[in-house]
Amino acid sequence: MASAATAELGVDKRRVREQVKKALRQLSAEQMAEESRLIAARMLASAAFRDSPHAIIYVHCAKLREVDTTAILEAAMAEHKRLYVPRVQDKEANMHFLHLDGWGALQEVPPFGIREPRPTYDDGRERQDVLLVDEPLELIVMPGLAFDRSGRRLGRGGGYYDKFIYSAQDRAAARGWAPPLLVALSFRSQLVERVPVEPHDVGVDAIVTPDDVIACTPAGAAALPASSVS
């Protein structure tokens, strides 16, 4: 019975992924740019961003039609936040988040041209890994493929963010720190009525859309209250 339910859930996930990918393909470059502008403005106006000296913010991939994070990353660097961005390690869902000290630290990685940080600084030192430094992590700004208003998130199937977030939450608990706030950025077409999830799928505290901020937990409501942006 369990295997049948698991198989059915897998079918549901594939259906939602295809539905949202199709909708994303129909967005024009102008639509994506305008929605990304509104999303960034909401994110930058939030206490979640203002009160997070250490943050993970993903570097968007144009080919995957992700919400553009350029303005958010630039603001974080301008405010001298300790900023970390993802670097995929292998096909076993292992992803490291390394310190970003400037745009020049990024390199494009095939096949999608995702920009990832080089493993070393210009002077040859190993680039800092967020899980290996003795400082808290207040904020994770993450992508996804589909979301619902309860905070359920559907990724692209690799499980990279789920695996990392469990490690980050365990690390915070072991040190007596608050867990990082989990915030997703979403185009309008990525919001669906219900995302099919499994027990290990990590939900988010808040979803930032062009139209509003969807608080999914009390922590999300406190850090990202609805704002007026035009």
pLDDT digits (tens, 9 = 90+) for 42-57: 999 999 999 999 999 9
pLDDT score for 228? 43
pLDDT score for 2? 52
The annotation status of 16 as a binding-site residue, yes or no, is yes
- With a pLDDT cut of 90, the percent of the chain lying above it is 83
The annotation status of 82 as a binding-site residue, yes or no, is no
Q: Tell whether the model's pLDDT for residue 198 goes beyond 90.
A: no
**Measured between alpha carbons, how far is 136 from 201 in angstroms, rounded to an integer?**
23
The answer to which of 7-11, 65-69, 101-105 has the lowest mean pLDDT is: 7-11
The annotation status of 13 as a binding-site residue, yes or no, is yes
Contact (CB, 8 A) for 97 and 164: yes
- With a pLDDT cut of 70, the percent of the chain lying above it is 95
Q: Which residue has the higher pLDDT, 198 or 36?
A: 36
* CATH homologous superfamily, domain 2-223: NagB/RpiA/CoA transferase-like (3.40.50.10420)
The annotation status of 8 as a binding-site residue, yes or no, is no
Q: Tell whether the model's pLDDT for residue 76 goes beyond 80.
A: yes
pLDDT score for 227? 53
Record the tokens describing residue 15, joined without a space.
């259906």
* pLDDT level of residue 1 (50, 70, 90 thresholds): very low
**Measured between alpha carbons, how far is 121 from 126 in angstroms, rounded to an integer?**
6
The annotation status of 66 as a binding-site residue, yes or no, is yes
Q: What average pLDDT does the chain have?
A: 93
**Measured between alpha carbons, how far is 175 from 134 in angstroms, rounded to an integer?**
9
**Measured between alpha carbons, how far is 65 from 138 in angstroms, rounded to an integer?**
26
The annotation status of 17 as a binding-site residue, yes or no, is yes
pLDDT score for 226? 60
The annotation status of 37 as a binding-site residue, yes or no, is no
Contact (CB, 8 A) for 210 and 30: no
pLDDT score for 152? 96
Cis peptide preceding 199, ω within 30 of 0: no
**Selection from 161, 170, 171, 174 nearest residue 200 by Cα:** 161
**Measured between alpha carbons, how far is 135 from 3 in angstroms, rounded to an integer?**
42
- Listed in sequence order, the residues at least 6 apart from 214 whose beta carbon sits closer than 8 Å to its beta carbon are 149, 151, 206, 207, 208
The annotation status of 171 as a binding-site residue, yes or no, is no
pLDDT score for 80? 96
Q: Tell whether the model's pLDDT for residue 17 goes beyond 50.
A: yes
Contact (CB, 8 A) for 156 and 27: no
The annotation status of 15 as a binding-site residue, yes or no, is yes
The annotation status of 14 as a binding-site residue, yes or no, is yes
Question: What pTM value is reported for the model?
Answer: 0.93
Q: What is the pLDDT averaged over residues 23-29?
A: 97
Q: Tell whether the model's pLDDT for residue 195 goes beyond 50.
A: yes
The annotation status of 59 as a binding-site residue, yes or no, is yes
The annotation status of 124 as a binding-site residue, yes or no, is no
The annotation status of 104 as a binding-site residue, yes or no, is no
Question: Sign of the C-alpha dihedral, residues 96, 94, 133, 49?
Answer: positive
Q: How distant, in Å, are the alpha carbons of 28, 65, 67 from that of 167?
A: 37, 27, 25
pLDDT score for 22? 97
The annotation status of 125 as a binding-site residue, yes or no, is no
Q: Tell whether the model's pLDDT for residue 90 goes beyond 90.
A: no
